[in-house]
Amino acid sequence: MITVMNSVNKPINEVEKCLDSQLWHACAGGMVQMPPVNSKIFYFPQGHAEHAQGNIDFGNFPRIPALLLCRVSAIKYMADTETDEVYAKIKLVPLRNNDCDFDDDGFLGIDKIENQEKPASFAKTLTQSDANNGGGFSVPRYCAETIFPRLDYSAEPPVQTILAKDVHGEIWKFRHIYRGTPRRHLLTTGWSNFVNQKKLVAGDSIVFLRAENGDLCVGIRRAKRGIGGGPEPSSGWSALGGNCAPPYGGYSAFYREDENKFMPHGKGGNAHCNERLNGKGKVRSESVIEAATLAANGQPFEVVYYPRASTPEFSVKASSIRTAMRIQWCSGMRFKMAFETEDSSRISWFMGTISNVQVDDPIHWPNSPWRLLQVAWDEPDLLQNVKRVNPWLVELVSNMPTIHLSPFSPPRKKLRLLQPDFPLVGQFPMPSHLSKPLGPAASFIVYQTTFLQAYREPGILNLDYLHQISTSTNCSQVCFLLGSSSLITLPHLEPPPSASWTILKIVRMFLAC
Amino acid sequence: MITVMNSVNKPINEVEKCLDSQLWHACAGGMVQMPPVNSKIFYFPQGHAEHAQGNIDFGNFPRIPALLLCRVSAIKYMADTETDEVYAKIKLVPLRNNDCDFDDDGFLGIDKIENQEKPASFAKTLTQSDANNGGGFSVPRYCAETIFPRLDYSAEPPVQTILAKDVHGEIWKFRHIYRGTPRRHLLTTGWSNFVNQKKLVAGDSIVFLRAENGDLCVGIRRAKRGIGGGPEPSSGWSALGGNCAPPYGGYSAFYREDENKFMPHGKGGNAHCNERLNGKGKVRSESVIEAATLAANGQPFEVVYYPRASTPEFSVKASSIRTAMRIQWCSGMRFKMAFETEDSSRISWFMGTISNVQVDDPIHWPNSPWRLLQVAWDEPDLLQNVKRVNPWLVELVSNMPTIHLSPFSPPRKKLRLLQPDFPLVGQFPMPSHLSKPLGPAASFIVYQTTFLQAYREPGILNLDYLHQISTSTNCSQVCFLLGSSSLITLPHLEPPPSASWTILKIVRMFLAC
DNA sequence: GTGTAGGCTTTTCGCCGACAA
DNA sequence: TTGTCGGCGAAAAGCCTACAC
């Protein structure tokens, strides 16, 4: 009557069990970059509060700063015992000296991670067939050939047993077979049991990872529900990184690519489970208040961070904040921001314009840069719920080709565009020469105006017209950009798409980059 | 892939749903008697803390009294949404006046409950076959004929559909059939689903109850694990009632009757579920501290009480405490105490001797009567984990036949035996004539000594010898007791058992009663 | 190259009387 | 009276190919 788990090893009963950092990162998603131990971060109680359920009233507590400079003293990579959801326990030590050496970010870890070979991993969103039918899993060829152990194709049919370790160290057994016409890779025996035990439904993702020691690991990323369909708090989203290279590093699945791709809800069953997956309610309010109070008093504290909660990181590496705060944010500025695709397989950049620069919650958190920017997206449908973003998560786009700066090169000199709406510069101590505003770049506005006009007349734009505009406006820059393919893939243009909307998107991409 | 629940009604999604008090009591067990609303109880923060996980340090808080007189202002009978475990939310209002009229206990409710007809209910511990094999449940005849709706025996075979409401008001459907050779009652279709949904295993109990309105209700009592086998904290046990009539009223399964009766653990599956079933960790430490602090400040507060946790009640009716505290507790005193049998079907009395009278935690709770008595059990094997008990849960045994007193008769005059080890009398205000020690009952000691000698020479006792002793010591009392069969069933004596240990047990029972 | 439908085999479920304690 | 066993028919699970996109 009791389903016996098809696992070889029983999980060890430890009080606090950390898991392999590589598997953790694979489950967290490609954009999440955790700050290395001993690096400096800014802690945002306001952002921490978004991790909790309901509204937290800090009113009764002594004024807590909107952001506090801290040193990361320890990180524990963990996974929820029930849901396998990954989270991290971060120990932080507040630093008295908010004004510290600019480049001394302690972020040596990033380089280390960058240089160190990333373990091969593969994520796939479960189809209906994967989750429901007959207990089989269709293995994409890439995954079978790159991640799975080498299969002996001489056998007829080629079969092998695959052992994969989950986030708890438990080992799951699958039968991997290569068969059918045309031939394809499948997981059969063992898969159904895995789906049932982990309560997976179509839309959830599975992550296979080949660890450094050769072990195969398996993690899961549960689909976020209620984004396209149900009500989603307007604050819900997650993104991290932006102004520094690499330009992303932490995010969460957000927009819906294809409305009818799958049915995210199974019939009943794990409704209770789903509640905790939608951003809010990850941590208790008391923990947030406790952390914020300790932080404000300069005492060491611990935060729990759920990388897949639909809320931005609240411990952001110090240099990102400083870089972002040096910019004179103005409405009208064009920017791009990275998001994870809904199936967590890729990263997409979305373009937008700053519509307002305004403190999010002036009563409780005056002068807080948290969610400072109100934005209008070029594709408003896909990002309906993202109304306000953190400055350090966006990357300004100018008429200049993007130059990626390493974290050790001097901070990029951003063009000062229009008039500053929000004089945050000066809040943070920094070398004086950097806060000097630079001359306006009129040409950018010209381009923008031109193409916005074009956008208002849909249907008349095509690639020729684009060339025509770029020539007629005498903007060699645009021509140059059309020749570059740094950020979009050219195959999308051939054959030239007929829908003007698509062209517009491309035009805007070109223009922006 | 996802099992759909075979229930007729979906549970209504209420925030706080109370359940029928009768079903609650049936699930809580026969010994649990909740104080009526408006009655007076003593609240023990120390006992409350035993409901919580880990050790609670009250050190940082202003001195909290060991016990506080409170009025019960409200009781909500509830059940855990996931496990169906019953618990109660008790609202308490501290009373300033600790010295109040003795008999004014407000316990009118008890009589009401006593007089009111108890609804017919039946509990059965699931056998392996009930829980595992083929999805059927063997219905004891008594249950089928008394609790279930009348079956039409003229049909061939006699079948009916049974609808039973669980603690959440959800209705479960079972096929009840009377068949086989020899004929027996069985639940077939629907039973397996119930077992799976409720995650029942062999050893858990099911309770059927016929409510006053004729509805059939079904509740579950999960088996306590780790008592005979695993490590159990020495504090773990539960019993209530004792000094007042009825002599029990609240307890918990505790001792193991037959070691090899069933295998309590299923293979994997609900290990997580089990953790919360073993006494500790029912409530959060913060709730306990909050309750205790409010109580100490005279403010109304709320406690959550799990009747099936392996820890004694921490809200005890005031008169029980007062009665118990009037006794001059001494080592050497003989007593009996009620426990629930492991299968929750009956109540057993265990005999013991007080080995020491000593405050349990003199540092944190000086002068607290909580777990005041250190005891030595006559059957130490079965009660290994019960080292210290609350005075109000034991009943002193003398050489006089037990007289059951109604709660309205004057407090029984206990014999003063030996010298008092712990002068608790005087802590509580009471009529002065009651605190006067009475004369020693030498005959009791004579009996005790005689039989303790007999016990030290095992193997020579048999029923004849018992008669011989009782005659030779010229104790007509013992002869009288041998003729009575009020507490043990006579079939055990025929044929006369050969094992001297069994006889000793009987002798002690007879002697004690 | 991979998702889905449907056939068909294998396994499990679960109802039953026999038998024994 | 009721717990457990093995038999057996029904139902579900799950492996497979065919076909579609």
Q: Which residue is nearest to nucleotide D18 (CA to C1')?
A: A181
Q: Higher pLDDT residue, B210 or B509?
A: B210
Q: How far is the CA of B258 from the C1' of C13 (A)?
A: 31
Residue B226: is its pLDDT beyond 70? no
Confidence of residue A117 (pLDDT cuts 50, 70, 90): low
pLDDT of residue A207: 93
Residue B426: is its pLDDT beyond 90? no
B472 in Cβ contact with B430 (< 8 Å): no
pLDDT of residue A342: 64
Question: Taking CB atoms and an 8 Å limit, are B1 and A266 in contact across chains?
Answer: yes
Which of chain B's residues have a Cβ under 8 Å away from the Cβ of A81? Answer: 272
Highest mean pLDDT among A34-38, A105-109, A254-258, B336-340: A34-38
Question: Token pair for residue A388?
Answer: 């306000």
Q: Looking at residues A373-389, what average pLDDT do you find? A: 85
Closest CB from B1, B3, B132 relative to A1: B132
Confidence of residue B285 (pLDDT cuts 50, 70, 90): confident
Q: Looking at residues A324-341, what average pLDDT do you find? A: 85
Q: Looking at residues A325-346, what average pLDDT do you find? A: 80
Q: Looking at residues B434-453, what average pLDDT do you find? A: 29
Chain mean pLDDT for chain A:
66
CATH of domain B121-221: 2.40.330.10
DSSP string across B131-152:
HTSTT-EEE-HHHHHHTSPPP-
Question: Token pair for residue A474?
Answer: 């005498």
Question: Token pair for residue B89?
Answer: 């939310």
Residue A355: is its pLDDT beyond 50? yes
pLDDT tens sequence across A44-98: 998 898 888 777 777 656 578 888 899 999 999 999 988 999 999 999 999 976 5
> CA of B82: which chain A residue's CA is closest?
A272
pLDDT tens sequence across B142-170: 999 999 999 999 888 899 999 999 999 99
Residue B339: is its pLDDT beyond 90? no
pLDDT of residue A132: 84
Residue B412: is its pLDDT beyond 90? no
pLDDT of residue A305: 93
Q: Is the CA virtual torsion A110, A115, A116, A118 positive or negative? A: positive
Closest CB from A3, A4, A132 relative to B1: A132
pLDDT tens sequence across A437-465: 222 222 222 233 233 333 333 333 333 33
Q: What is the pTM of this model?
A: 0.62
Q: Looking at residues B253-275, what average pLDDT do you find? A: 33
Closest CB from A2, A82, A269 relative to B2: A269
Confidence of residue B60 (pLDDT cuts 50, 70, 90): low
Distance from CA of A220 to the nearest CA of B (A): 18
pLDDT of residue B195: 93
Least confident of A32-36, A198-202, B496-500: B496-500
* End-to-end alpha carbon distance in chain A: 60
Q: Looking at residues A128-136, what average pLDDT do you find? A: 86
Q: Higher pLDDT residue, B446 or B81?
A: B81
Residue B439: is its pLDDT beyond 60? no
Q: How many CA atoms lie within 13 A of A492 on its CB side?
A: 15
B67 in Cβ contact with B278 (< 8 Å): no
Residue B490 carries which DSSP code? G
Distance CA B244, CA B319 (A): 8
Residue A405: is its pLDDT beyond 50? no
Q: How many CA atoms lie within 13 A of A452 on its CB side?
A: 11
Phi, psi of A12 (to 5 degrees): -75, 135
Residue A312: is its pLDDT beyond 60? yes
Q: Higher pLDDT residue, A476 or B272?
A: B272
Closest to B481 measured CA to CA, from B505, B511, B451 = B511
SS (H, E, C) A6-54: CECCCCCCCCCCCCCHHHHHHHHCCCCCCCCCCCEEEECHHHHHHCECC
Bases on strand D under 7 Å from any protein CB: 1-7, 13-20
Confidence of residue B305 (pLDDT cuts 50, 70, 90): very high
Which of chain B's residues have a Cβ under 8 Å away from the Cβ of A195? Answer: 1
Residue B409: is its pLDDT beyond 60? no
Q: Higher pLDDT residue, B352 or A407?
A: B352
Residue A336: is its pLDDT beyond 60? yes
Distance CA B240, CA B254 (A): 13
Closest CB from B3, B192, B272 relative to A1: B192
Question: Token pair for residue A478?
Answer: 């645009």
Distance CA B513, CA B509 (A): 6
Q: How far is the CA of B213 from the C1' of C13 (A)?
A: 36
Confidence of residue B281 (pLDDT cuts 50, 70, 90): low
DSSP string across A239-305:
B---SSSSS---B-EEE-S-TTS-----SSS-HHHHHTTSSTTSB-HHHHHHHHHHHHTT--EEEEE
How distant is the alpha carbon of residue A498 from its chain centre? 32
Distance from CA of A4 to the nearest CA of B (A): 7
Closest to B207 measured CA to CA, from B118, B124, B119 = B124
Confidence of residue A238 (pLDDT cuts 50, 70, 90): very low
Residue B360: is its pLDDT beyond 80? yes
Confidence of residue B345 (pLDDT cuts 50, 70, 90): low
pLDDT of residue A323: 86
Q: What residues of B are in the A interface, CB distance below 8 Å?
A: 1-5, 131-132, 135, 192, 195-196, 201, 266-269, 272, 286
Closest to B35 measured CA to CA, from B99, B93, B96 = B93
pLDDT of residue A159: 93
pLDDT of residue B117: 60
pLDDT of residue A141: 92
Confidence of residue B107 (pLDDT cuts 50, 70, 90): very low
pLDDT tens sequence across A416-431: 333 344 444 334 333 3
pLDDT tens sequence across B189-220: 999 999 988 999 888 999 999 988 889 999 99
Question: Taking CB atoms and an 8 Å limit, are B2 and A82 in contact across chains?
Answer: no
pLDDT of residue A329: 85
Q: What residue segments make up the domains of chain B, in order of their start?
A: 121-221, 327-400
pLDDT of residue A105: 52
Question: Taking CB atoms and an 8 Å limit, are A266 and B2 in contact across chains?
Answer: yes
Count of CB pairs separated by less than 8 Å, A with B: 35
pLDDT of residue A63: 76
List the beta bridge partners of residue A69: A42
Percent of chain A at pLDDT above 90? 22
Distance CA B316, CA B67 (A): 10
In B297-428, where does DSSP find H-type helix? 318-325
Confidence of residue B398 (pLDDT cuts 50, 70, 90): low
Q: Higher pLDDT residue, B349 or A38?
A: A38
Which of chain B's residues have a Cβ under 8 Å away from the Cβ of A198? Answer: none
Q: Looking at residues A405-411, what average pLDDT do you find? A: 32
Fold of B327-400: SH3 type barrels. (2.30.30)
Q: Higher pLDDT residue, A236 or A294?
A: A294
A371 in Cβ contact with A360 (< 8 Å): yes
Question: Taking CB atoms and an 8 Å limit, are B1 and A195 in contact across chains?
Answer: yes
Distance CA B367, CA A260 (A): 70
Q: Which of A2, A197, A286 to mutate to test the interface with B (most CBs of B within 10 A)?
A: A2
Radius of gyration of chain A (CA): 24
Q: How far is the CA of B453 from the C1' of C20 (A)?
A: 44
Verify if strand C has an atom below 7 Å from the CB of B58: no
Residue A348: is its pLDDT beyond 60? yes
Residue B277: is its pLDDT beyond 70? no
Question: Cα B313–B311–B73 angle (5° rounding)?
Answer: 25
pLDDT of residue B406: 30
Helix A442-456 vs helix A500-512: angle between axes, to the nearest 10 degrees? 170
Confidence of residue B276 (pLDDT cuts 50, 70, 90): very low
3 state DSSP class of B183: coil
Least confident of A426-435, B36-45, B258-267: B258-267
Q: Looking at residues A16-24, what average pLDDT do you find? A: 81
Which of chain A's residues have a Cβ under 8 Å away from the Cβ of B131? Answer: 1
A80 in Cβ contact with A377 (< 8 Å): no
Q: How far is the CA of A182 from the C1' of C2 (A)?
A: 10
Query: Tokens 């734009």 sit at which residue?
Result: A461
Measured CA to CA in angstroms, residue B136 lies from B151, B155, B185, B208, B326 at distances of 18, 21, 10, 16, 53
Residue A399: is its pLDDT beyond 60? no
